Amino acid sequence: MKWWERKKRRGAAPVVQVRQGEGHPFGVLDRYTPLGTGEVALYRAIREGVPLLDAAIWKLVRLCGGVKVLAEDRAAQAGLEEFFQKVNIGWGQRGIQAFLDRYLDDLFTCGHGLGEIVLTGDGRDIAAVLCADPEQVEAKRGDNPLDFKLCLRQAGEPKELPWQELLLFTPLQPTGDCPCGVSMLRSMPFLAGILLKIFQATGQNWERAGNLRFAVVCKPGEDEGAFAQERCRQIAGEWSEAMQAGRAGQVRDFVAVGDVDVKVIGADGPILDSQVPVRQILEQLVARTGIPPFMLGLSWSSTERMSTQQADLLTSEITAIRRSVEPALERIGELWVRLHGFGGGVKIDWEDINLQDIVEEARAELYRAQAEEIRRRHQAE
């Protein structure tokens, strides 16, 4: 075959390169694989990506607060109260309440809280009570179920920490397969990943269709073939001037002769309604936290008030959380008492949880008093 008889090879089809291939900023959720240990980086990404969950955890931390200490030895009560109010927590904070806030935050997020009691140089007093990053340590089981050691994570074999009695460790809802506790966010990665995909897609759709772009199509007639390019150039110039006048706040009409069609790019592609799927996912996430939706700014019911049943459930949830961190606080108080030469133990006294309406409580108290008065009258007769 002669060279002039060979068919010309067609070039390769062009590849579109302008489309962005990056996903949403919390892409770690897409690569999540359930493991036996807590994925702390994943859980922190969920809190950062879903503000509702971050607010729910902070509300639980605030609701669990309000701690006082009582010493069995009355001579130690004043000094122990002053210690709980003024102990150094680090980073410019003082008081056990500040320590408890961060301790509970790590407890909910990581599945266990980690703290350390720091003694003075002579070992006769407590210099500070610090919170540590739970990712720094891992628990090592001992020879019996009552024995465990906290080890520092490092390259190679974990190193057992020397002063175990000065470390504070609290697991959240420990199970048989996870004795070190499980995070409150453990069951949320799948649903949180779907929720962030919806938000990311919504943002991309608004970037593409939010700022309207127009397609101006000019169809020249049969006798305008020679002047079609020049006419299109004139229409483009007039359209550009009309758009620039609109930016300056002026109203300018666009007038063209012939068959000219103006369409909005992307107007035929409707944006999917995300209200129903987003609410279904948020219902699952909020249910895990145990907080009524209206406390997080969600208006899902006609009466935005907390019922008696909801208040009782939330109160029992807070009480259970308090029970889990109470041993760590008692250890701090008992060590202070021993170091200062006092006897007896300490008891943690929590503030009452009041989630009911004060007016409703007063009305209920009035009804009880009236019923008691009527009962007495009947007995007297």
Domain shared by 224 and 355, yes or no: no
Q: If 0-12 CB within 10 Å is exposed, 13-18 middle and 19+ buried, where does residue 199 land?
A: middle
Domain shared by 60 and 125, yes or no: yes
244, 264, 284 — which closes off a domain? 264
Q: How many domains does the chain have?
A: 2
Domain shared by 284 and 240, yes or no: no
Q: Who wins on pLDDT, 74 or 251?
A: 74
Interval 311-355: pLDDT, tens? 778 888 899 999 999 999 999 999 999 999 998 899 999 988 776
Domain shared by 218 and 207, yes or no: no
C-alpha 81, offset from chain centre: 33
264, 282, 298 — which closes off a domain? 264
Q: Which structural domain range is residue 228 located in?
A: 214-264
How far, in Å, CA of 54 to CA of 232, rounded? 55
Interval 264-280: pLDDT, tens? 766 666 677 888 899 99
264, 281, 300 — which closes off a domain? 264
Beta-strand ranges (E) seen in 12-125 are 67-71, 88-90, 93-94, 112-119
Q: Which tokens sit at 211?
A: 């700022």
pLDDT-derived band at 225 (thresholds 50, 70, 90) equals low
Q: Of 106-120, 176-190, 240-254, 285-299, which one has max mean pLDDT? A: 106-120
Is residue 14 in a domain?
A: no
Domain shared by 241 and 287, yes or no: no
